[in-house]
Amino acid sequence: METITASQINIQALFEKQQQYAPELANTTATERIARLNRLIQFMDDEQEMQGLKDAMYQDFRKAEVEVMLSEIAVVRSHALHARRELRRWMRPHKVPTPITLLGTTSYIEYEAKGVSLIISPWNYPFNLTFSPLVYAIAAGNTAIIKPSELTPYTAAFMAKAIKKLFSEEEVALLEGDASLATALLELPFDHIFFTGSPQIGKIVMAAAAKNLASVTLELGGKSPAILDASAAIDTLSYNLAWGKCLNNGQTCIAPDYVLVHESKMDAFVGAFEKSLKRLYTDLPSLESNPDYCRIVNHRHYLRLRRLYDDAISKGALELLGGTWNEAELFVPPTLLGNISDDMAIMEEEIFGPILPVLPFSSQEEVVQIIRKRPKPLSLYIGARNRRFINYIMANTSAGGTVINDYMLGFGNPNLPFGGVNNSGIGKYMGFHGFVAFSNEKAVVKRNFGTLSVLFPPYTPKVKALMAFVQRRLL
């Protein structure tokens, strides 16, 4: 498909159109915003429209229909339904306590739209990670310009048609284009930028936002560890882990990136993982023809995974489980690698594919030491029955979110904030936290009676004595 460059789009005119409309949209009622959310919900309830999405995602990287329904449509729909249900409550002024020193006043928080927002979405879950933040931009009363990834062109084209059908361009507009379009958009003075992607590009986005002092939400990634303690239910967790690692062919920001297995359970884990793959995909030798197993998005990412694999093998890694790669088909089989060392690139870069390094450990202290060597992850997975072990890991590591005795659930509850910490992200969203991400929390203090004038100049001995009393007794 042809890629549109920034020079072919008058983005300045579009930005100014949204900038002029933003104050009107900011003053919309909950009923009006809910009507916009309903457009999205009705669109996702249209089976014919969603079949178009499934077809587009199959063309982009052979994503199975059930995976599209589970990880794309169902997620966005749950966000939209939750926002529709809670929006009136979210929009109400939130009263907060007032200290005695401000006697005679009331204090509350009002949530006002930030204005014109930019959503830059990735290729790995293109519908989910475009429309989920859009739900919250709409709920908070913002306009939005969307730049989806050019690496999934069929899905981007589908979303462009959908946005044109659902919204006027002064409300929401989606622009298809290459990296030059993203660069041009980042030069504009947006009020908020929501970016999902790699930490490397996240730094570029944040630097661009700083030039206009725009607020940012950066949903990044990193190396999310999975831990299997000696007390873990190895068979069950290996099955769930195999699903989480192979979902979308491992191209998931919260996918387990490497697994730390207690040394006493290493052989059991490898055996259980192989059995789990056979349960998921029936016959591993013919996995390449299995319609339930996704593909790597493009040739460049395939070669990147091959480089990581070859580098690890050349430095002594052992293939504990694997298969034949097919470059023409962009097919990478589920692969377990053992005998891993820190000098391997696969332990430095986020893998974003179905390769899983396996590292043994002997103590909880060793687990913490291994995790702390790397930037703070987006997700941390702890598999254990031992409550003391779980508490120790929780207390001595930091991550954007933690899942205990399961995988990939961090995105499943809209009542929980989702996001990273430091290298894995800045800011949170989902549910109320998503509404807040696109809102300015405006502090309001209202004087009802009284005054602070007793502390105004001139600072007589009486005023000084009163101030001393306030400082000593009331503060």
pLDDT digits (tens, 9 = 90+) for 411-422: 889 999 999 999
Active-site residue identified among 219, 246, 294, 350: 219
pLDDT digits (tens, 9 = 90+) for 244-271: 999 999 999 999 999 999 999 999 999 9
Name 142's Cβ contacts closer than 8 Å, sequence gap at least 6.
22, 25, 26, 113, 114, 115, 116, 117, 191, 192, 438
Residue at 259 is within a domain: yes
CATH number at residue 172: 3.40.605.10
Average pLDDT, the chain: 95
Of 8-22, 50-64, 174-188, minimum mean pLDDT range: 8-22
pLDDT value of residue 186: 97
CATH number at residue 316: 3.40.309.10
Q: What is the percentage of the chain residues whose pLDDT exceeds 90?
A: 91
Residue 447 burial (CB count, 10 A): 11
Residue at 456 is within a domain: no
The pTM assigned to this predicted structure is: 0.94
Active-site residue identified among 171, 176, 253, 294: 253
Residue at 469 is within a domain: no
pLDDT value of residue 412: 82
pLDDT value of residue 2: 47
Task: Summarize the confidence of residues 318-339 as an average pLDDT.
Answer: 96
pLDDT digits (tens, 9 = 90+) for 117-141: 999 999 999 999 999 999 999 999 9
Statement to judge: residues 371 and 397 lie in one domain: yes
Statement to judge: residues 189 and 276 lie in one domain: no
336-351 b/e with 16+ CB inside 10 Å = b?
Answer: bbbbbeeebebbebbb
Is the pLDDT at 107 greater than 60, yes or no? Answer: yes
Q: State the Cα–Cα distance between residues 293 and 275, nearest whole angstrom.
A: 16
Q: Structurally, how many domains does the chain consist of?
A: 2
Statement to judge: residues 132 and 238 lie in one domain: no
Alpha helices in 354-413 (DSSP H): 364-372, 387-396
Going by pLDDT thresholds of 50, 70 and 90, the confidence category of residue 470 is confident
Answer yes or no: 253 catalytic.
yes
Would you report the helix, strand and coil content of the chain in percent, each value rounded to 5? 50, 15, 35
- Domain residue limits at 98: 6-220+423-442
Task: For residue 453, give both structure tokens.
Answer: 């004038």
Statement to judge: residues 68 and 173 lie in one domain: yes
Statement to judge: residues 109 and 124 lie in one domain: yes
pLDDT value of residue 374: 95
Kind of pairing, strands 116-120 and 192-196?
parallel
Statement to judge: residues 438 and 381 lie in one domain: no
pLDDT digits (tens, 9 = 90+) for 385-434: 999 999 999 999 999 999 999 999 988 899 999 999 999 999 999 999 99
Statement to judge: residues 208 and 297 lie in one domain: no
Q: Could you give the 3-state DSSP secondary structure of residue 446? A: strand
pLDDT digits (tens, 9 = 90+) for 135-180: 999 999 999 999 999 999 999 999 999 999 999 999 999 999 999 9
pLDDT value of residue 172: 98
Statement to judge: residues 188 and 275 lie in one domain: no
Task: Summarize the confidence of residues 201-217 as an average pLDDT.
Answer: 97
pLDDT value of residue 9: 64
Answer yes or no: 219 catalytic.
yes
Statement to judge: residues 87 and 235 lie in one domain: no
Q: Could you give the 3-state DSSP secondary structure of residue 97? A: coil
pLDDT digits (tens, 9 = 90+) for 358-370: 999 999 999 999 9
